Structures are given as C-alpha cells and as structure tokens.
Chain A
C-alpha cells in the first residue's frame, strides 16, 4: 500500500509540474507551483515520507498515509480529471492475402455457403475498442469494492477477451501514424427494443434505457460508433462482461449470502411456527369465545410479523452490484473488411467480414438475434444471421428463421410441430393454423 501511495503521490506531483527530489529511499522533497500548493492547502515546499521507517531520520518529513488530508485532497483533485484517454495501434500490416479463403476456413454457414463478391475488395477501416474501468461495489449486508477493467470491441459489441489477454504486449501510441481511414460501422445487434421484445433484456440494459431515454427507439447499427448512444449500449454489455470476470467472487458472495439467509430463515420459521403452534394449541383448548377470538387475532399478528421479518432478512442478504465507471480509454486500430455473400436456397445477403491484423484472425460474425459473435452461423430465410441458439426450423420444409422472425413460425394446432409461414395451412372456417398433414382437422 505504501508503494502504491508513493507512486500515486509522486506521479501526481509530476503531472502538476512540481519539482521532486529524493534525498533518500521513501522520502521526497517537493517544490509545488503556488497555485497547486494553494489548491492543496499546503506550503509550496514539502518534505514527505512514505513509511515510518523512511521518515524516521527526517523529523521534518510529513509521514503520508492513506486517509491523510493531503492525500485526500490530491485524490479529490485527481477525480476531477482523467475521465478519458485515447491510444492508437499503428504497428500492424493492413493487408491480407487470400482473405476470402481465410474467412471460408474460419466461418461455417450451417445452412448455406459463402460466395466471394466479384466487385468487393479488402478495405482498411478504423476500428475501435473501449477499455471501461469500473469500480464495482458488491453489496449484500456487507460491501466490498473491486476495480474491474473490461476491453470491449465497439464495432462488434463483444468483449475483446483475446486482446485483453495480450494487452501488456500491445504497443500503444498517442498518435495515429497511418493514412486516414474510414470509420467502420457498428455490426452488432440487437437494439435495446429488440432485446426487450425477445425477452433477453438484461438488468443492465434496463438501467441503460433509464440512463439514456432517447435511445430506446434507435437501431444500434445505424448509430455512429462514437455517439453517446452506442457508447451507452456498449457500457451495458461491458457491465455484463464485468459479471463474467467477477463470476467467482459473485458466486462466493451468493453462496455465503444464501447460506446466511437460509440460516436466518430457518431460525425465523422455526420460531414463528412454534409460536403459532402454541397459540393454536391454546385456541383449541379454550372454550371461552372471547379468549379464542383474542388468540386468533394474536395468531394473525404473529403471521404478519413473520412475513415482515422474513422480508427484512431477504432484503438484507440480496446481492447488488453497483458499477461506477471511473474512466475509459478509446483504442483505435486499423482492420481489413471484406464484403462476402452469405447464401442458401432461400436468401442471400452481403456481410462485411473483418480481418484483425493484430490478432491475425477473422472476427466471428454477429448473430442478429442475440448480438453475440459465433463462427458457426445460419442464414435466416429473411436474410438475418443467426447462431445455433437463435434458430427456429420448420419441421416440414426445413426452412430456418431467426428469433427476429419468430412470428413467421407457428405451431400446428393439432400436432404441435413447428410450421413456417410457407408450409402452414390456415383454416378458412376457424382461422387456425395447421401443418399440411392435419389440414382440415383443426376443429
């Protein structure tokens, strides 16, 4: 902690233009600019010690610890800035031979194929990552905080786990050294309202909708990547990624809270069960109607009290996560895009596949149903991409639909099998849908 504090304080002084000399290990003489000294409420010339041992030979040194007024003032000053920064990844080659072949090798279209577009060329684009730094408060009847960083690919909407794993080796620069490149569009879905309709809206997205009310009706793919809306949507996904990162901690807390809750519940239930049983026994023994009535009232009161006390303990142990975004960094990197046709018997679309020259791989396409990226995809009859989990198949014609198109797939009223809009038979009398085998048997 003392080392962290020393690094923090001296970096701060450096940042604000102070002169620092180190007469000994763990001791620093600091000459502050007058305005900074005024802001911090100290004399411009300071002698600071960062440990008791180091300060001992210097009686005039101020021994700094966490919680010291000076440290608190520095923290306050620092909190007023440093919200955002930007880095560039320049050291990558933005060309790739036989990119189409690489795409074909990486991506599987389960119900179709990939076809090169004759007119399409590999196009370098500017892609973005955002590194979100959250202070996460995990609150039950106790509270602990953690700093959690997640790196999100802004264009694909996915956590960049792989890049994050190699983050320390990535060469980040403060300036863009390549030629100007067009900005890559967002490729991710669903939008918030799609999520809500599909019933996959997370609490994070709900919180986000409340944070940015004007965003509810906008399709994220039509947004500018750096618009507040797209960043807010990405933040919601980053929040989910935080829960993945903290899964062991969360699981531990949940288990601990659940155990405590169970014990408290058991104690309360036993107490109120016994109390109620005692009252009932007394009720059954008495022949005095007024007394019986009084006992019945008491019993009702005991049961109401039981409900209140149980609600109290449940509220006490419920786990809440509060994510405070400390700051964020934008990382800009060139990538190659190649438009490729995705086809099957029923549909054909053009999809821009991405080659990442830093990680040397083709990025997985994004499912239009759930917004997650997968190398194995399906082409929906209506031209959407869908992952295995988001596909609905007609049991009769074997056409596939994604979750966005679920209204095109019904169930036969007689046999219950999935039947799509192309294969169904609608009864002229009752209007209900059946498969062709059960046509006319609906009523």
Chain B
C-alpha cells in the first residue's frame, strides 16, 4: 500500500494547468464519459516518443531528403544534441540543423536558442527558418533587438546573430552570462583557431546542445579539427598535445595517423554526407550571356545616373558629404534600379527629387534625371528578351528584381501575345499557389521577382532568364536553385541579359568568365565568398570599386582585381575541399 517516491534525486513538477481539472472536479462540472475519453484519446495520439519518429516532419514546409532526416536523427540520438554537421556543400546543412532545432522545440527540450553565422548569412537563416520551419527568430540587426541594448540577449529567446557582433565585448559578456538550450554555429570553420576571440566565445557559452555546421572542417592542418571538436566535446580527441602525438604525423600537421582510431572518435560527433553517397547528381547547367547595347537615350541616362551616384559617394568618402538623406543604401538601390530599367529607377529618382531634405543643387540634378527617364521610349533589353523568347517555345522563368520592371515586362509580353503568369511577394499564398499551378499547366512564362518560389518545385521548367542581375552572387545562386535542383532531369539553361558598360556587365564577367560561377554547385559560391579576405558584403565591395573609379580604365582594373581575388578564393576553397575529401572520404555518412 505504501507510496514512496522512487525519484528522490529527480525533479517532479506538476503542471500549473492541472488546477483547472481539480476545480472542475471540485465544482462538480462533470461532462459526458465520451468527452472524457475523447480527451484521453487526443492526448494518446499526440504522445511524444523517442527520436525514432521525428515529430517535426509534419510541422515544416519543406520536404527533406532521407539523408537529411537520417542526419537529424543521428544528431539527436547518437550525438545527443552535440554534433558537427559537415555535409558537402549544397546538401542542405541548414535543413538538417533546422530539423534538429524544430524537433527539440516541438518536444519542449529547447527554449532558448542562439544561432551564430557569418554576417552575410543572418538574413538567409531567418528567411529559411521562417519559410521552411515556421520559426520566428529575431536578428541582432532588428530594431526591437537593438533598442534593448545588451539586455536583448536575455529578453529574446530565439536569436540569430553574426559571430562578429557576438564577440564584441559588450555583447560577449551578456551572452556568456546566459544559459542556452541550443547553440548553432554556421560556417563553423571560423572556429578553427583556439587563440581567436570567436573560438573562446563559443567555447565559453553555457549550452545544453550544440551544432557546428561546416563543409570544410579542416582547412590548413589537423589542429583545426581538434579545436572544433573540443568546443563540442572537450576531451573527445584528448588534449592538443596528446592529439598531436597520437593522431598527427610528426613534421606534417596535415597528415593524420592512427586513422582507424581517429575515425572511431570522430564518428561519435561528426556526420558528413557526400554527394556520391546520397546519390544526388544534377544535370549540367549552362549559362549564356546575351550582351547588348543600350539605346542611346538609355545609355545616356545610365551614365548620368551613375555619374550622380559616383559623385555623391566620392563626396561622402572625402568627408565633404552634405549630410543629406542620400545614404549609401539609397544610392546603391538607385544604381541597381537603373541597371534593371529606366522604369525601375524613375520612382526613386522622383522621390529623391521631391525630398526637401536633399541639397537643392542635387535635387535639380535629380529632377533632370527624372525628365531623362520619362523620355525613354525604347528598351534594348526588352527587345532582346522578345527576340530570345521568339527563338524557342519552351517554358521559361524570367527574373527581375524590381516590381516596376516586372509590371512593364508583363504589359510588353502580354501585348506580344505571350501566355504568362506573374509571381511576386505581394501575392497571397493562394494566388502564389495558383500562379505556380498555371505555370505548370499551360502558361509558358513565369515572370517573377526574387520572391519567386522559395521552396517551390519548378523543375518542370529548365530555362531561366535573368533580365537583371543581382549584385549579390548568393541571390543569383538562389534564382538558379529554383530550377536546378533535385528532380531536374534536363540540362538547365541560364540566359543573362547584360548591357555593355554597366556594373552588372562587369559582375557577370567576373562571376561567369573568371570563376565559372554558373557551373559551380549550389552553395560553393558562398564558400568562395567566405574565403575573400574582405569581410564586407560582395555588393558593397562592388559599389566601392565603382565609386572609386574615375575613369573607365580604373573601373576595369578595379573589377579585374576583384575578379582575381575571387579566383584566389576559389582556388583556396578547392584546395580545402580536396583536403577534406582526402581526409574524411565517405566514412562519416549518417546512419
């Protein structure tokens, strides 16, 4: 008869909501037996069992591949939530980490989460977690977060921050004082050196679970691997001195010895899927550049807008800026708009020309530019597009970044008798579904902004046209990824419309000719950009080169230099990739 607690050392908590049931009993609020049994049945159906069956698969908006599910299960079950996910580039480490994160959240095992990424990837992480995993995160750049100062780290439970921000002294102290349930570090090869502030910060975090994500865990020598694993599981590879003695060939820090034993130790914390292992091969993709000359009025407008942008930027850089609202972001947008079409630039020009906060002299120049834009009646790119479309009757996905350009092209193409659907961020979910369905069914063209089909399956189409080119190569890669993805069986063709002498023309030259970007595997561009010594965003680097150049020759030289830097970054990435392949091979696939 005696009831004795068998869990004397453990914590038992009664849920606060239990009181409602006791009150119902006490008040005599009795309901039918059937309602009572139904409630029990409902709970029985939703009972959480072991990780053999993932709950998150029914609660996400992405269809993960079996190897991604296996990887998540390996991280949950075998690694007990502390693992190094090292899949080859493009196999979806973010998806795997997202699955683990969502699973922990659904099971109530995780509440406070910190995701640390390189600066350029914070937004991408947020987007993916929202669109694919229905998870809302705040980034350190969000106004509500910034307003709270260092206290924000405690106030928000789901934060994405750049490593650079987190390691700043004022933030570091706040982060180190907290206890996180889960910490995810993307591009974790930035933790390769234990002497850095970044390594020390991540090592000192109080955390229950931790995922480190990198496609290249080892870049230069095996010490880097030791440093990564030590953050996850101190002692897994013993002390640094013991590790070197036992696992590194004397005199060659890149060469491992006792491989079998090392492999066994690594298998407790590391998973690495390779393309050949998971049998994911994509058909070839081919990029073609359609170079064209702008019409004289277009070329004049482009030159005039560019000169205006350059002049304001140069003035700002020499401290003689006039302190008006023409900030770098506005100027960059304007330059990108004029690269798309005069119609895209016109609203911005009008808005700026009417802005009393801007210097009158500049407003006069802007007013003149508005007039120039309004006078343009022929668009060379649009004409080239019509020709391109006439050459084949295959389905095609046309991308433009700007709504104004999209509206113009819609009218133009409809007038030319094309069967098309449009797709942009402002459509409702149902309208988007309908647009994709129509494109698959009978429409020949999907005319779309960047918002196009995040996570949508458009593999039935194999041709795309970049009407304008994003300056950020990652954006270009995302566009290509819409059709060059698992399920695509035919060769993919990418047409880039490029007007001579524009920034986009230079960017295309660098990305296509110098590093063959359009033939890279999705995700590799990111790695190459990560290898650039310059930590700024690529588009900022481009804009600076553009703004600094006083002559066309200087511009060409600056862009060439940037291209060379990218080539070196690509070589470095390739060397690392080869080294990691030789080191790990196919020994660490998810089981």
Contacts and interface: CB of A to CB of B under 8 A. Distances in A.
Interface string A129-142: 01001010101011
A244 B401 CA distance: 64
A84 B33 contact: no
Interface in B14-49: 14-26, 28-49
The interface centre, meaning the residue of B2, B204, B238 with most chain A CB atoms within 10 A of its CB, is B2
Interface stretch (B5-13, B436-444, B445-453): B5-13
B30 A244 contact: no
Interface residues of A, number: 96
B1 A373 contact: yes
B45 to A, nearest CB: 6
A17 to B, nearest CB: 12
A1 to B, nearest CB: 8
Interface string A72-100: 00110011011111110000000000000
B500 to A, nearest CB: 53
A426 interface: no
Contacts of B470: none
B464 to A, nearest CB: 34
Interface string B42-77: 111111111100000011000000000000000000
B356 interface: no
Nearest to A306: B234
B276 interface: no
A322 interface: yes
B552 interface: no
B11 A158 contact: no
Given A82-B38, A271-B234, A321 B1 contact: no
Given A145-B47, A268-B235, A323-B18, A8 B38 contact: yes
A239 B241 contact: no
A270 interface: yes
A8 B31 contact: no
Contacts of B51: 142
A235 interface: yes
A144 B59 CA distance: 19
A329 B36 contact: yes
Given A83-B24, A204-B5, A174 B38 contact: no
Nearest to A71: B45
A115 interface: no
The interface centre, meaning the residue of B28, B30, B235, B239 with most chain A CB atoms within 10 A of its CB, is B235
Contacts of A212: 19
Nearest to B208: A316
B109 A274 contact: no
B236 interface: yes
A326 B39 contact: yes
Contacts of A71: 45
B363 interface: no
B11 A144 contact: no
A66 B45 contact: yes
Given A84-B36, A86-B30, A270 B42 contact: no
Contacts of A226: 25-26, 28
Interface stretch (A39-47, A48-56, A307-315, A347-355): A307-315
Contacts of A147: 40, 43-44, 47
B238 A271 contact: yes
Interface stretch (A177-185, A247-255, A338-346): A247-255
Contacts of B429: none
B453 to A, nearest CB: 23
B435 to A, nearest CB: 23
Q: How large is the interface on B (under 10, 10 to 19, 20 to 34, 35 or more residues)?
A: 35 or more
B1 A374 contact: yes
The interface centre, meaning the residue of B4, B12, B15, B30 with most chain A CB atoms within 10 A of its CB, is B12
Nearest to B19: A211
B391 interface: no
Given A4-B41, A84-B24, A321-B12, A267 B50 contact: no
A203 B80 CA distance: 28
B208 A67 contact: no
B32 A15 contact: yes
Given A75-B45, A145-B48, A203-B11, A83 B6 contact: no
Contacts of A436: none
Contacts of A38: none
A327 B39 CA distance: 8
A422 interface: no
Given A86-B30, A260-B80, A161 B50 contact: no
Interface in A283-321: 305, 308-309, 311-312, 315-316, 318-321
A146 interface: yes
Given A84-B25, A137-B108, A330-B30, A235 B38 contact: no
Nearest to B234: A271
Given A84-B25, A84-B31, A268-B234, A145 B39 contact: no
Contacts of B20: 83
B39 A82 contact: yes
B3 interface: yes
B3 A325 contact: no
B5 to A, nearest CB: 5
A418 B278 CA distance: 76
A144 B30 contact: no
B38 A12 contact: yes
Contacts of A14: 34
A352 to B, nearest CB: 18
A181 to B, nearest CB: 17
A120 interface: no
Nearest to A132: B21
Contacts of B19: 211-212, 228, 232
B288 interface: no
23 contacts: A11-B38, A74-B42, A81-B39, A159-B3, A203-B11, A226-B25, A226-B26, A228-B26, A239-B14, A243-B6, A267-B234, A268-B234, A270-B238, A271-B235, A274-B242, A319-B11, A321-B12, A325-B14, A325-B18, A326-B39, A328-B21, A328-B22, A329-B36
The 3 A-B residue pairs whose C-beta atoms are closest, nearest first, are A271-B235, A67-B58, A82-B39
Given A82-B32, A203-B11, A241-B3, 18 more contacts: A11-B41, A12-B38, A78-B35, A78-B42, A81-B31, A82-B35, A84-B29, A135-B47, A141-B109, A147-B44, A202-B5, A231-B25, A268-B234, A319-B9, A321-B13, A324-B18, A325-B15, A328-B24
Interface of A: 1, 4-5, 7-8, 11-12, 14-15, 66-67, 71, 74-75, 78-79, 81-87, 130, 133, 135, 137, 139, 141-147, 158-159, 161, 174, 202-204, 207-208, 211-212, 226-228, 231-232, 235-237, 239-241, 243-244, 247, 250-251, 254, 260, 267-268, 270-272, 274-275, 278, 305, 308-309, 311-312, 315-316, 318-330, 364, 372-374
